[in-house]
Amino acid sequence: MLAAHLDPLAASIFSLITIASMLLSFVMLGSRWLKDYMYAFGIQSWLIALLSALVGYYGHYPELYLIAILTVLFRGLLLPYLVLRILRRLHVGRELHLVLQPSTSLIVGAICVIFSLVLAFRISTAIGFPENIVVLALTVMFTMKLVGFLILSIRHEAVSHILGLMLLENGIFLGSQILIPGMPILIELVVLFDLLVAVACFGVLIRYLMARVGSTSSLELKRLIG
Amino acid sequence: MLCDVLAQIAQVLAVMLLAPLIQGFILRYEERVQRSQGPSILQPYRDLWKLFHKQLVIPETSSWIFWAAPVVAFTSMLTVPLLIPVLTNYPLPLSNMGDILGGGLILTVGTFFINLAALDSGSAYGGVGSSRQVMLSILVEPTLILVFVGITLMAKSMLPFVVNHLLVANNAVFWSPTHLFLVLAFFILLLVETDKLPIHSSTHIEVYMIGEARILEYSGPLLGLLKWASMMKQFILYVIFCNVLILPWGLSIHGTVLGISGAVIALVIKLFLVGMIMVAVQTSQSRLRFYRYQEPLAASFLLAILAIIANQIR
């Protein structure tokens, strides 16, 4: 395991990047504007790309450079571009029907962080790697997943659903880069393209919603029509 | 010993005499940023002078609380500088009366008495102002406690002097995520406590007022005392922010006359820096309605939690 024997400088850079991406996921959680989510997601993807390049450098995995470039291209540029294009065409600026106010959802997010920390301590001692960077990576991974689920469940705009999904995906990707670097390159490529397919499907779904229901809110999808 | 007592007196005097200067600086440069002339930097001193030479008018409906509140507020602001590093980086006589939490308590006593006085005379604006202020305080208080818990966990001590020494001595702690999150969380609290949030209005219209609406009934010397106390509160909070959290350098180490005067100059420079940040915050944000107050406070709460979490992993 790479994380078990990192030099201190690398460990501190890794923790800085993971903490910054956790903060960005809270920016997504606390904002009302869909554009802000998108920019935060873009920056987060760039950070994760930087992280995988650094893991490749410190752990001598040359194929991770390719992954980093692909991450920047797909998650950092292409996905935000596609979603921003959807936003522009549909004229949805912000979340209209809030289940939880941004402030309340931030508090729930804080509870998620505490839960993830406890979980991360348990898991890291169970697998026998109680290093700080392992605990931190696990905490941030679980936090980003929980925040992603939170966004999926408390937001109604279909675009936010895509974002929740992508945030979840980003969390898993970030955790896997630190905890188990050197996965077969095919799996990493599959993960990247998987997300692209998901966004394309969601794009079609949103168009369909707009055409049939007249709005992009998933609140309209309550009734079952046979 | 005598030297230390004199240094302690100098700390209190520095807070008393420099507080209007910082207020004047912020008010002047807020105007200058908007390309208007702005009042002189010494204007708050002139205002205080004018108020202390005016006649006193007391509402007929008020009780002794009306008299006591300004005195209590002013006295508590004179007490807090004894407990915190204003000019020296070592504890002076009587600074062992209270720790960070004690300082926070005394700061709140003044607010509490002004709230009482606002309700005392029974005017409508006093009630509105104190209810708004109490709503904010209720939300600020838990976060403030969490920030103190974070500081305590980071420095393994509740004394501001220990935190100051730790941050000066150890760069790794200074740049650690724990400390940076604490600085951010405390900065938001600072904005709330010194009326610099976008929900606070810079123009004096009664319906927009939050804290100031509580003192509309006052006049003359009592009003002067209250204004001075609020300037001192702002000064003390900025001093805590600088000397305990973000700029722990530039304090007198031995307590010589030269060192103390150097510390005064360093203090003014540091507070001008904080003042510039405040001017930037106030100018760059548009005003929001009052009911948006939860969002910055929730963000501050979250940052305090993150600081504690980061400290656990460190």
Q: Give B193-238 pLDDT, tens digit per residue.
A: 888 887 776 667 777 788 888 888 899 999 999 999 999 999 999 9
Cβ neighbours of A135 in B, within 8 Å: 313
Rounded to 10°, the helix A185-212/A79-90 angle is 0
Average pLDDT over residues B98-115: 90
Q: How far apart are alpha carbons A96 and B198 in whole angstroms?
A: 23
Residue B52 confidence (pLDDT): 95
Q: How far apart are alpha carbons B313 and B99 in whole angstroms?
A: 26
Q: How far apart are alpha carbons B127 and A9 in whole angstroms?
A: 56
Minimum mean pLDDT range among A15-19, B161-165, B184-188, B282-286 = B282-286
Angle at the Cα of A45 from the Cα atoms of A42 and A51, rounded to 5 degrees: 150
CB contact under 8 A, A103 and B305: no
pLDDT of residue B65 exceeding 80, the answer is yes
Minimum mean pLDDT range among A126-135, B104-113, B302-311 = A126-135
Cβ neighbours of B302 in A, within 8 Å: 26, 30, 106-107, 109-110
Domain ranges of chain A: 2-222
Q: How far apart are alpha carbons A156 and A98 in whole angstroms?
A: 8
What is the nearest CA distance from B153 to chain A, expressed in angstroms?
A: 16
Helices (H), A72-101: 79-90
- What percentage of chain A reaches a pLDDT higher than 90? 25
pLDDT of residue B275 exceeding 90, the answer is yes
A7 at the B interface (CB within 8 A)?
Answer: no
pLDDT of residue B172 exceeding 90, the answer is no
Structure tokens at B287: 């005003």
Residue B153 confidence (pLDDT): 92
DSSP B246: I
CB contact under 8 A, A30 and B177: no
Structure tokens at B225: 């005392």
Minimum mean pLDDT range among A2-6, A62-66, B28-32, B265-269 = A2-6
**Test the B interface: residue of A22, A29, A106 with most B CBs within 10 Å:** A106
Residue B3 confidence (pLDDT): 87
pLDDT of residue A226 exceeding 70, the answer is no
- pTM listed for this prediction: 0.89
- What percentage of chain A reaches a pLDDT higher than 70? 96
Alpha-carbon torsion angle A28, A32, A35, A41, nearest 10: 0
Residue A127 confidence (pLDDT): 86
CB A19 within 8 A of CB B310: yes
Across the interface, of B295, B301, B309, the residue whose CB is closest to A102 is B295
pLDDT of residue A96 exceeding 70, the answer is no
Average pLDDT over residues B71-78: 95
Class of residue B310 by CB neighbours under 10 A (exposed 0-12, middle 13-18, buried 19+): buried
The helix, strand and coil proportions of chain B, stated in percent and rounded to the nearest 5, come to 75, 0, 25
Q: How far apart are alpha carbons A116 and B190 in whole angstroms?
A: 30
Phi, psi of B224 (to 5 degrees): -60, -45
Q: How far apart are alpha carbons A17 and A12 in whole angstroms?
A: 9
Domain ranges of chain B: 2-313
Bridge partners, A94 (sequence order): A33
Q: How far apart are alpha carbons B67 and B69 in whole angstroms?
A: 6
Complex ipTM value: 0.83
Could you count the other beta carbons within 10 Å of the beta carbon of residue A121?
16
Closest to A156 (Cα-Cα) out of A73, A221, A60, A67: A221
Contacts of A20 (CB under 8 A, 6+ apart): A47
CB B140 within 8 A of CB B132: no
SS (H, E, C) B23-39: HHHHHHHHHHHCCCCCC
Greater model confidence, A215 or B256: B256
Q: How far apart are alpha carbons A159 and A94 in whole angstroms?
A: 10
Q: How far apart are alpha carbons B65 and B77 in whole angstroms?
A: 18
Q: B67-83 b/e with 16+ CB inside 10 Å = b?
A: eebbebbbebbebbbbb
Residue A33 confidence (pLDDT): 82
Work out the widest C-alpha separation in chain A, in whole angstroms. Answer: 60
Closest to A98 (Cα-Cα) out of A34, A26, A155, A148: A155
Q: Quickly list DSSP for B113-129.
A: HHHHHHHHT--HHHHHH
Q: How far apart are alpha carbons B72 and B76 in whole angstroms?
A: 6
pLDDT tens for B239-257 read 999 999 999 988 988 888 8
A19 at the B interface (CB within 8 A)?
Answer: yes
Closest to B231 (Cα-Cα) out of B182, B197, B195: B195
What is the nearest CA distance from A214 to chain B, expressed in angstroms?
A: 31
Greater model confidence, B123 or B78: B78
What is the distance between the terminal CA atoms of chain B, rounded to a whole angstrom?
Answer: 40
Average pLDDT over residues A24-46: 88
Residue B87 confidence (pLDDT): 92
Residue B211 confidence (pLDDT): 82
Phi, psi of B262 (to 5 degrees): -60, -40
CB B112 within 8 A of CB B106: no
CB A112 within 8 A of CB A146: yes
Cβ neighbours of B309 in A, within 8 Å: 113-114, 117, 139
Q: B85-108 b/e with 16+ CB inside 10 Å = b?
A: bbbbbbbbeebeebbbeebbebbb
pLDDT of residue B290 exceeding 90, the answer is no
Question: In terms of CA atoms, which chain A residue is nearest residue B308?
Answer: A114
Sign of CA dihedral A93, A98, A104, A105: negative
Mean model confidence pLDDT for chain B: 90
Q: How far is CA B16 from the centre of its chain?
A: 13
Q: How far apart are alpha carbons B245 and B247 in whole angstroms?
A: 6
Residue B202 confidence (pLDDT): 62
Closest to A102 (Cα-Cα) out of B257, B211, B187, B288: B288
Q: Which residues of B touch A (CB under 8 A)?
A: 177, 294-295, 297-299, 301-302, 305-306, 309-310, 312-314
A107 at the B interface (CB within 8 A)?
Answer: yes
Could you count the other beta carbons within 10 Å of the beta carbon of residue A149?
15
- What percentage of chain B reaches a pLDDT higher than 90? 60
pLDDT of residue B268 exceeding 90, the answer is yes
Q: Return the SS3 of B252.
A: strand
